[in-house]
Amino acid sequence: MTFSEKLDLIMMISNTTNSALARAISIDSSFVSRLRRGVRNPARNENYLKPMAVYFAGKCNFPYQRTALNDVLQSTINVLQEEKSFPEDSSQLANLIYQWFLEDKTRGVKSVENLLHDVTRFNFNKSPQNLATEISGTPENTITNGTVFYGIKGKQAAVISFLSLVLKNKKPVTLLFYSDEDMEWLTGSNEFASIWRSLLIQVIMKGNSIKIIHTVNRGLDEILSSVEKWLPIYMTGAVEPYYYPKTRDGVFRRTLCIAPDTAVVTSSSVGSNIKNTANLFYTDLETISALTAEFNDYLDLCKPLMRIFTHFRKENYYSVLNGFEEVNSRSVLKTESLSTITMPDELAASIYSRSCLESDEMKQMLAYHKMRTERFKDSLQNHEFTEIITIPDIKAICDGKIIVNYSQMLTGNCIFYTLKEFRAHLQSIVRLLQTYDNYTVHLLASSELEGMIYAKEDVGVLFGRITQPSVLFATNESNMTSAFWEYMRIALFKSPKNTDQRKTTIDALNKIVEALID
């Protein structure tokens, strides 16, 4: 259950209106409405959550209210209390409600951590040639139009036959995938999952692409888990993931796998029962056309879940980044290197002169860089920007082993800082700290936080990795945005605090600068 669903439920139990809650805890009623509708998702440390919990603890006094509240809080009671009974004390009840509000946040943060771990450690372990050898034992397709495959094994056989037909096509197509059915057919067998993944990568290597609609009402954990399972496919940049933004009841479920002009696999089930499901395989063009139209009608109701950028598929990267950064909000940024947004224009020109870019593309990149850094400085007049910098290894800097952020994805080759360039970039960061009160830097050890994460509160998040194969994911889905924002806020709490954090950070950076002597 999301925070918005919890808030809506407890407001109904306690007969609380938006305006009444707003007055009680001194926030705006329109803000309560946004929280209740899921437009706004609170971070874990928001100062209105505890007063909100205290308010609801005092409002639920009638027996029917306490019974209803006991039902929804039971899992939290089981975890936090030795006595598994509903607390009579108002302060204990308020604490339970507060912890209940935070439960999905904690799980979401852990899911973010797992996803980033997989992204930063991902490797394509097999070449397309090896993949072809691995699945050479797949039986030749002998099915006919309208063949029915039954149950989990049948769905697996239908999917293998579907992908095998796609591989035989000479002309690339965009595959269309949707399923809110139970995923046991894919996740229950590591052997099958490996074959499925191998086939799908081969399909993409032949120039095919994929549009997939994910089911977000499975919960944030399942969204991020689904992204993890698709990670080898996502890392190719050939996938466009979408989601339907409204909650569905999940009783009657559907699967559609469509290869235009080639084949369709479709099935339906009730709840999580897929053991006896009939999986229908069609190859006639009329049926394929009708189900493609059905998929596209549903796609029109959906929103992009993520945009995925690689060196081979970086179209519209600058427009997405521009749209993300032109919205002013509190921001937290952590990269695996130093951020290009703090890189002086002359330094960018020096660094990118070593790229493989053509002259016109180089001019375009440097012009965008100049606009971006100017806008960044303008935003610092009124908006907080926190950067988390991993403490670099001095020897690695001196040996020229520190990669320039996303240089491989943007230019086609990995560019590494010279000692002089890295030193100049650190000096620029120090000048920003000395000039702008809204710019803050936290220094962490390199092992404490993985990947690149750039989060804007209530706006969206960019995340990925800068080392080969470099990839950048961009999303503004509210639950994912909230989870990543919370993850970053928790990371900031881990860094040591003192009364003069800014001076301490500047001194630490200056020591590194002094150590970088030619």
CA distances from 2 to 141, 219, 263, 343, 433 (A): 44, 8, 37, 39, 37
Quick count: other Cβ atoms within 10 Å of Cβ 304?
13
pLDDT in tens, the chain (518 residues): 678 878 888 898 899 999 999 999 999 888 898 888 877 777 656 788 999 999 999 988 888 888 878 777 765 555 444 455 667 778 888 888 888 887 655 556 667 877 777 777 766 654 444 444 344 334 545 677 889 999 999 999 999 999 999 999 989 999 999 998 888 888 788 888 888 888 998 999 999 999 999 876 555 666 777 777 778 788 888 999 998 877 666 788 999 999 999 999 999 998 888 888 999 999 999 999 999 999 999 999 999 888 999 888 888 899 999 999 999 999 999 988 899 999 999 999 999 999 988 899 899 999 999 999 999 999 999 999 999 998 888 899 999 999 999 998 888 889 999 999 999 999 999 999 999 999 999 988 765 667 899 999 889 999 998 888 888 999 998 878 888 887 887 777 655 555 578 999 999 999 999 998 76
Q: N- to C-terminal Cα distance for the chain?
A: 57
Instruction: Map residue 189 onto helix, strand or coil.
Output: coil
Q: How buried is residue 42: exposed, middle or buried, by Cβ count under 10 Å (0-12/13-18/19+)?
A: buried
Residues 6+ apart with CB under 8 A from 242: 211, 212, 213, 214, 299, 302, 303, 304, 305
Strand 460-465 relative to strand 452-456, pairing: antiparallel
Closest listed residue to residue 237, CA positions, set 415, 467, 464: 464
Distances (CA, A) of 346 to 142, 158, 213, 375: 63, 57, 43, 17
Q: 392: which 2 tokens?
A: 């670099």
Can you give the pLDDT at residue 466? 87
> CA 126 to CA 302: how far, in whole Å?
34
pLDDT at 185: 87
Residues 57, 94 contacting (CB under 8 angstroms): yes
pTM flag (> 0.85): no
Question: Which residue reads 């095998």 in tokens?
Answer: 164
Q: From CA 241, how far away is CA 246, in angstroms rounded?
A: 16
Burial tier of 71 (Cβ tally within 10 Å: 0-12, 13-18, 19+): exposed
Query: Residue 115: which of 476, 453, 490, 492 has the closest Cα?
Result: 453
Angle between helix 220-229 and helix 90-120 axes, rounded to 10 deg: 10
Q: Are strands 209-214 and 174-179 parallel, antiparallel or unpaired?
A: parallel
Q: How far apart are CA 479 and CA 107, in angstroms?
A: 12
| CA dihedral over 17, 19, 22, 24, signed as positive or negative | negative
Reference 376, options 441, 331, 426, 423; nearest CA is: 331
Closest CA to 218 of 257, 274, 179, 177: 179
Please work out, in degrees rounded to the nearest 5, the angle formed at the alpha carbon of residue 87 by the alpha carbons of 85 and 89.
160
Q: How far apart are CA 448 and CA 470, in angstroms?
A: 20
Torsion sign, CA atoms 50, 54, 55, 61: positive
Domains in the chain (CATH in brackets) are: 3-120 (no CATH), 128-305 (3.30.870.10), 309-515 (3.30.870)
Helix, strand, coil percentages (3-state) for the chain, rounded to 5, are 50, 15, 35
Three-point CA angle 160, 164, 169, nearest 5°:
150
Whole-angstrom CA distances from 448 to 144, 256, 334, 391, 490 are 55, 41, 11, 10, 12
Q: What is the DSSP string of 274-290?
A: -TT-EEEEE--HHHHHH
